Structure 1
Amino acid sequence: MKKIGLLILFVISHQTFGQSLEKTLLWKITGNEIKETSFLFGTIHITCKEELPVKVIHALKETKQLYLELDMDDPSLQMAMMNGMMMKEGTTMSSLATKEDFRIVDDFLKKQLGLSAQMLNSIKPFMVSAMLYPKMIDCEMKSVEEGLVSLSKEQNEEIYGLETIDEQLAVFDAIPYEVQMNELIKSAKNNLEGDKSEIDLLFETYQSEDIEAMITLMRTSENEISSKFETIMLTERNKKWVPRIISIAKEKPTFFGVGAGHLGGENGVINLLRKAGYKVDPVF
């Protein structure tokens, strides 16, 4: 039933956005005052392998610097992330749940992470959920970004971020803590079964390189953070990134790697760049 609903919404999304975007994760950016071609690539933050497609390796070799969502090479990144994990105004997970639900989460976290909910009580629930990602996949967790960073270092190229860690962490202050906690409770109650199913579908969709289907997948997700907060998670960030991408691409041929969910849709990076007068063409 869920797959039928996904198919229906996928068809609707294609009608809404007009001409469908081609099925590829790699796009080249040219036009206006861009003198040398830059590339835009859709990444996935959780994967079982970090090997890069040949076309991506070629694109990296044709550019002179790498821009990810964050500067993954910044030695202060981990400390800054740790500092931004806490909820504001003294909010705690126990204050966002009933006693029974907090007990369920506590038992669940002890089983999965070896940590009590009380120890993590002040951390944003989304961050606690992120700690569970390795438990959702049947392999050692990697990311496409790791592969991009590794190759860029081999080429002695600089690595930068389109946004600061503070900007990214602000997203999870804008999404109500109650919603984040409710998702953590759901994960605890179904012992990650729903999360594992969604991750499997995400992997399958990513491998198909269908970026419009990825948008539809997010909008039909049973996780309310994905399905109800597209404006905060994607749209607002895309609109901030596009002027930065344009400015950077004018200065130097650049490889931009951002989450694949940011590429498609009416307010995706591809469409926003085209609206700004730039050519964004698929690379197969």
Structure 2
Amino acid sequence: QQGELNSFLWTIRRDPPAYLFGTIHVPYTRVWDFIPDNSKAAFHASSSVYFELDLTDPYTISGLASCQMLPHGENLQDVLPRELYRRLKRHLDYIKLMLPHWMTPDQRGKGLYADYLFNAIAGNWERKRPVWVMLMVNSLTETDIRSRGVPVLDLYLAQEAERMKKKTGAVERVEEQCHPLNGLNFSQVLFALNQTLLQHESLRAGSLQAPYTTEDLIKHYNCGDLNAVIFNHDTSQVPNFINTTLPPHEQVTAQEIDSYFRQELIYKRNERMGRRVMSLLRENRDKSFFFAFGAGHFLGNNTVIDVLRQAGFEVEHTPPGQPIGNSRTTKTSPALEGPSVTALPPVQLSEQVPLASPSLKPQQMEEEDSLSPHLLLPDSISQLEEFGRQKKWHKKQHKHHRQRQFNDLWVRIEDSTTTLPSYIRITNGYLTVKPPIWISNQLDQRPRPERPAQPQPTSSAPASLPWPSVTFPLCMAVASFLLNLLQPS
């Protein structure tokens, strides 16, 4: 029943209405059936769809990659304490060993190999900053590995928005998400990486049960828990290091890290995202919007919703089963009638590229020649980086103007219905040429110079033709045939 489903949809009262929708970074197939029809209808009805980051801007992808890397010439082995580096390498070796056993038959059926999957997630790890290695280690669990190959919810919505030729954009820039993660001091980074490794080493030994798992996140989301603290960890992308087993001085460090990330990755971002939502609404009063951000940005204290309400916008939660765009949402928020907010950096709109999925419904990934684009980490930054790399592989081509590759030419020769000249044959896929009859006749009719008699060979093999005499006509015949094949059909 629709009324029993979750609802992470909020409506901003204006004409046309705008919507806020909370996502989580898990495979969309795990949650789609629990999302009400009115949330999906709001997405369909909106002409513009905005995300945290621009999923299609090439700068986003290159910026994310460079942000994660150590300064030029530095290596992780040079910056980490020797014992910590050894433990990290030992853990990654264990992951690489276990990866083939963790993968599902469905993943193998899609052409995913363990080595490729490991390189897609952990490739170049020795060049990354320690804080990004920490996030990477958290994503290398059996549960998360088994979910690779299906787009996460927000990425799926981005693909659908492109396919439907909606305007897409972002309310944040790369450095605004990336730099706070690089802002921890080195001692805090070492503490975080060490604690992360300790947790995973204990999980391997069976002496610890994970306090926070992807399955927990999915359960809270599907049950519609609007007060779950767990969504903040999904939003801030970092684990919670606070626990009672730490000695007092380490508890202080854990508290400092938690406060820093809560302030930088949640509260400050909520303020910035809320202001940019307001700017878009005031500058585009006649357009409908669908803003899809991590659910943690709408839950708890100092949320994006709080920022909008404090500015005078009327934002109401939209329960499942309530029709969208009804009379209660056609009024315009008073804040839209006021002066525009302070000018903000422009939010770029991406060029629209149709995608392959035919409808906004869960579906099996279609078999493609290229590898699956969705080998994504739980944190959005890694998702976008992988998504951007895949975008380059799906450039639209015109069917009637496709460039013919050299190998393609030989395949077409073999499969062609064109009647080949009698002097050209294909044997086992190879092109062979026999001198045509008219060449042979001309050669027979040419006067031969007087030569001393030579002893005839006793072999019954036919005498070979003089090569110089056939070179030019033969080359002309082959060239003419190949040029005919290259003519556009």
Fold-level match, TM-score > 0.5? yes
The aligned residue for residue 86 of structure 2 is 103
Q: CA deviation at 1:258?
A: 0.8
Match of 2:54? 71
Using the alignment, how far apart are the partners of 1:118 and 1:139 within structure 2? 19
State how 1:187-206 maps to structure 2 within 5 Å.
Answer: 187-191=199-203, 197-206=212-221
Q: Which residue of 1 aligns with 2:240?
A: 221
Query: In the alignment, what sits opposite 1:171?
Result: 180
Following TM superposition, by how much is the alpha carbon of 1:222 offset from its aligned partner in structure 2, in angstroms?
3.7
Instruction: Give 1:71 shift.
Output: 0.7
- Rounded to whole Å, the distance in 2 between the matches of 1:94 and 1:259 is 34
Q: What residue in structure 1 maps to residue 353 of structure 2?
A: none
Contact (CA 8 Å) 2:26, 2:153: kept in 1 or not? yes
> Which position in structure 1 is the counterpart of 2:310?
275
Instruction: Report the equivalent of 1:14.
Output: none
Read off the aligned partner of 2:197 and give its amino acid letter. Answer: I
Rg: which structure is higher?
2
Separation of aligned partners in 2, 1:257 and 1:42: 6
Q: Deviations over 1:44-103 (max 9, x none)?
A: 123362747322220112211111010112234322211111245987644665422221
Moved over 6 A (4+): none
Report the secondary structure of 1:211's partner residue. Answer: coil
Residues 274 and 305 in structure 2, CA contact (< 8 A), matched pair in contact too? no
Tell me the SS of whatever aligns to 2:27.
coil
In the alignment, structure 1 segments of 5+ residues that lack a partner are 1-22
Give the structure with the higher percent strand: 1
1:226-250 superposed Cα distances (whole Å, 9 cap, x missing partner): 8442111100111111110011123
Tell me the equivalent position of 1:152. Answer: 161
Which residue identity lines up with residue 214 of structure 2 in the other structure?
I
Moved more, 191-200 or 36-45: 191-200
Q: Pick the aligned partner of 1:35 from 15, 27, 32.
A: 15
Distance 1:89 1:188, change over 3 A: farther
Give 1:82's aligned residue.
Answer: 65
1:264 and 1:131 mapped to 2: Cα distance? 26
RMSD after superposition: 3.2
Question: Structure 1 280/241 Cα, relative in aligned 2: closer, same or farther at 3 Å?
Answer: same
How many residues get paired? 258
Which one-letter code corresponds to 1:38 in the other structure? A
Question: Does residue 222 of structure 2 align to residue 207 of structure 1?
Answer: yes
Q: Give the secondary-structure state (helix, strand or coil) at the position aligned to 2:50.
A: strand
Q: Does 1:234 align with 2:266?
A: yes
Any idea what SS the aligned residue of 2:15 has? strand
Asked if the contact 2:48/2:289 (under 8 Å) is kept, the reply is yes
Shift of 1:210: 2.1
Question: Residues 267 and 207 from structure 1, CA distance in 2 versus in 1: closer, same or farther, beyond 3 angstroms?
Answer: same
Aligned residue in 1 for 2:24 = 44
How far 1:179 moved relative to its partner?
4.4
1:215 to 1:275, Cα distance in 2 relative to 1, 3 A? farther
Q: Which residue of 1 aligns with 2:125?
A: 120
Give yes or no for the alignment of 1:162 onto 2:171: yes
| Alignment check: 8 A CA contact 2:28 2:156 kept | no
Q: Could you tell me how far apart the structure 2 residues matched to 1:153 and 1:42 are? A: 19
Q: Which of 137, 142, 147 is residue 139 of structure 1 equivalent to?
A: 147
Which stretch shifts more, 220-229 or 93-102?
Answer: 220-229
Q: Contact between 1:38 and 1:255, CA under 8 Å: does it hold in 2?
A: yes
Q: Deviations over 1:155-203 (max 9, x none)?
A: 2112111111122111211234334423442344235776584322222
Between the aligned partners of 1:58 and 1:248, the Cα distance in structure 2 is 21
Structure ranking higher on relative contact order (CA contacts 8 Å, 6+ apart): 1
Higher alpha-carbon deviation: 64-73 or 94-103: 94-103
Contact map agreement 1:28 1:283 (CA 8 A) in 2: yes
Q: 2:130 is matched by which residue type in structure 1?
A: P
Sequence identity percentage: 22
Q: Counterpart of 1:277 in structure 2: which amino acid?
A: G
Where does residue 42 of structure 2 map in the other structure? 59
Instruction: Write 1 or 2 for the structure with the bigger share of helix.
Output: 1
Contact 1:66 1:160 (C-alpha < 8 Å) held by counterparts: yes
Amino acid at match of 2:303: G
- Residue 28 and residue 232 in structure 1: after superposition, are their counterparts in 2 closer, same or farther (change >3 A)? same
User: TM-score, length-normalised on structure 2?
Assistant: 0.47
Query: Residue 178 of structure 1 aligns to which amino acid in structure 2?
Result: L
